Amino acid sequence: MSGFAEWINEVIQHLGYTEIFFLMALESSLFPVPSELVMIPAGYRAAQGELNPWLAILAGGGGSLLGASANYVLGRYVGRAFLLRYGKWFLINETKYHEAERLFIKNASMATFVGRFIPVIRHLISLPAGTFGMALLPFAALTTLGATIWCAVLVALGFHLGEPVMRIVTEYTHLLGYAAVGLTLVFGVWFLLRRQSPNDTEKPL
C-alpha cells in the first residue's frame, strides 16, 4: 500500500486533465483511489492558475463515467451468471438473488445517483446496476450527473481552502488508501451477509 500511496503522490505532483480522467476512472471502478486525493489537489492547482477548474471537473466526471461503465459491463455480462451459479457459496441462493434484484430495480435511479456521494458505495454501485439490468441510458445520465457534482464539490474545496486542505491530503494519503481498502472489504462482507436469516443454514440452496 505504501508503494501505491507513493505512486498516487507522484501522479498528483504532475496532475493534469489526463491524469484526473485516468485516476477518476480507477476511482469509479474497483481500484481504491479516493476521489479526495485527485479532485481536491486539482482544485488547488486550479487556484494556482495551473488548471481550469471547469475542465478539471469535466475530466473528473468523464473519468468517473468510464470507470463506472466498466463496472456496469462487468456486472451485466459476468455478475448475474456468476451469482446464479456460485452465489450459494456466498449465502446467496436464487430466491435471494431475485429479491435483491427487485429491491434494486425499484430504487435503481436513487441508488445510482446518491451512491456517487457515498464512500465505498460509489466504487461498487455500478456492479448491481449492471447485474440487475438497469437501463444503460438512465445509468449513464445519473452517474455522470452525480459524479460531476461530487467532483465540483471537491474542486471547490481545493480551490477555496488551498494550502491547509492540501497539507491534510498529502499527509494522510496512505491512511485514506488503507481506509478505502478496508471499507470496501467491510461493505462486501456486509452485502453478502445482510439478507441471511437465522434459519438460512438449515435451508437447501
Query: In the chain, count of helices (H) and strands (E)?
Result: 12, 0
The pLDDT of residue 4: 52
The pLDDT of residue 195: 44
Does residue 179 lie in a domain region?
A: yes
Instruction: In whole angstroms, give the CA distance from residue 14 to residue 11.
Output: 5
The DSSP call for residue 90 is G
Does residue 72 lie in a domain region?
A: yes
Instruction: In whole angstroms, give the CA distance from residue 45 to residue 132.
Output: 40
Cell of 141: 445520465
Amino acid symbol at 52: N
Does residue 54 lie in a domain region?
A: yes
Amino acid symbol at 156: A
Domain count, the chain: 1
The pLDDT of residue 55: 96
**Residues, the chain, total?**
205
Element (H, E) at 39: helix 36-47
Amino acid symbol at 131: T
Mean pLDDT per 10-residue segment, the chain (205 residues): 57 83 88 81 89 96 94 83 60 60 78 81 81 89 94 90 65 50 52 48 41
Residue 202 main-chain phi, psi, to 5 deg: -95, -10
What range does the domain containing 21 cover?
Answer: 2-194
Does residue 204 lie in a domain region?
A: no
Does residue 27 lie in a domain region?
A: yes
Does residue 60 lie in a domain region?
A: yes
Does residue 203 lie in a domain region?
A: no
